[in-house]
Amino acid sequence: MKAFLVEKYGGPAGMRAAEVPDPQVGDEDVLVEIQAASVNPLDIKLRDGAFKSFLPYRLPLVLGNDLAGKVVRVGPSVTRFAVGDEVYARPDKDRIGTFAERLAVHQDDLAPKPDGLTMTEAASLPLVALTAWQALVERARVRPGQKVLIHAGAGGLGSVAVQLAKALGAHVATTASTGKADLVRELGADEVIDYRTQGFETLLEGYDVVLDSLGGENLAKSLRILKPGGMAISVAGPPDAAFARELGANPILRLAMGALSFRTRRSAKRQGVTYSFLFMKASGAQLRELTPLIDAGKIRPVVDCVFPFDETLQAMDYVEKGRAKAGKVVVAMT
C-alpha cells in the first residue's frame, strides 16, 4: 500500500511517499481503509524529531494521527465493530500512521463516525476533540459559570475547545485576529481578544482555566490572568514530571522533564495557580462521549481545505507555513 514515511528526522527532506506492507491485524485490531486523514502540528514536530527523547519511534515511520474510514477486516476478539462500519480515530501514540491507505487500530481507540459528518469532516476531529475533552473535562473539570480562556480560537484545537467550553456552560474568551473574530463568536466565544493589537493579560482577570497551545511568553502571561486555584493547561509548554510518569519514563528523564518545567511551575505556585502539561491519549470511549455534542450541533468541524492524498507533503507544508485560515487541513483518498 502507499504511505508517507519519515526516513530521517530534521525536516521535509526526510519524508517521502513509499510502498509499504499492509498492516498486520492483531486479535483486538480493526483494519480500516482510510478515506481521509488530517494534518496536525504534532505531525510536523514528530517529523522533525522534537519528541524523539520520550517517543523513540523506530524509523522509517508512517506519519499521521487522525483518520476516518471504513472497516475492512476485524481481529477474532473484536466485539464492537464489523466489516463495513464507518469509523474515526486518533490511534494510540505507539501505533500512528494515518497517512496511508490502511491502518490497523485497536478497537479501544476507535469509534463509530457520527452520522452527520462527511469523512473529511470526521477526520478533522479526533486528535483536537480528544485534546479539548481531556483538558477541559477530564483535567480541569470545567463547570457552568466558570471563566475559560482558549488561545488561538480559530485554530484546529481552539475551534473545537471554544465550542466544548461553551457546551459545558463556561464563559469563554479567546484570542484571534480581527478577521477571525466573527468565526470564533459563531463558535461560542463571549469575548474575543485581537492578539495583534491587544494584550489579553491586561484585559482579562479572574479566570478559572486557560488552555494554551502556543507556549513560551504566551504561557507565562496566561498564568497571570488566573484566579487563585486556577489552572493553566498547555499542549505547547514544557513537559512536567507528571507527564514523565504517565509515559513510564526512567528516573533520569523524569528529572529532566521536571527541570524543563521548573520555572513555569515555580511561577504558577507563586501566583497560587497550577500548571499542567497535556499530551493527549487515544480513546474511543471519549470519542463516543463527544458524539452527542456533535450530533446536536454543539461541536462542528472547521475544515480549512482538503488536499488529495497524493499531495500529503504539500498539505504538511501548508500547515507548517501557517497558511491555514481556520480549523484543520485534511487529506482525502478520493
* Four-way CATH pick for 2-124+301-332: 1.10.10.10, 3.40.50.1100, 3.90.180.10, 3.60.150.10: 3.90.180.10
Model confidence pLDDT, tens digit, residues 32-71: 999 999 999 999 999 999 888 778 899 999 999 999 999 9
CATH of domain 127-277: 3.40.50.720
Domain spans in the chain, listed from the N-terminal domain onward = 2-124+301-332, 127-277
Model confidence pLDDT, tens digit, residues 142-162: 999 999 999 999 999 999 999
pLDDT at 258 over 80: no
Q: What SS3 string covers the chain?
A: CEEEEECCCCCHHHEEEEECCCCCCCCCEEEEEEEEEEECHHHHHHHHCCCCCCCCCCCCEECCCCEEEEEEEECCCCCCCCCCCEEEECCCHHHCCCCECEEEEEHHHEEECCCCCCHHHHHCCHHHHHHHHHHHHHHCCCCCCCEEEECCCCCHHHHHHHHHHHHCCCEEEEEECHHHHHHHHHHCCCEEEECCCCCHHHHCCCEEEEEECCCHHHHHHHHHCEEEEEEEEECCCCCCHHHHHHHCCCHHHHHHHHHHCHHHHHHHHHCCCEEEECCCCCCHHHHHHHHHHHHCCCCCCCEEEEEEHHHHHHHHHHHHCCCCCCCEEEEECC
Query: What pLDDT band is residue 249 in, cutting at 50, 70 and 90?
Result: low
Section 253-259 average pLDDT = 75
Query: What pLDDT band is residue 73 in, cutting at 50, 70 and 90?
Result: very high
Position 56 scores a pLDDT of 81
Q: Choose between 68 and 245: higher pLDDT.
A: 68
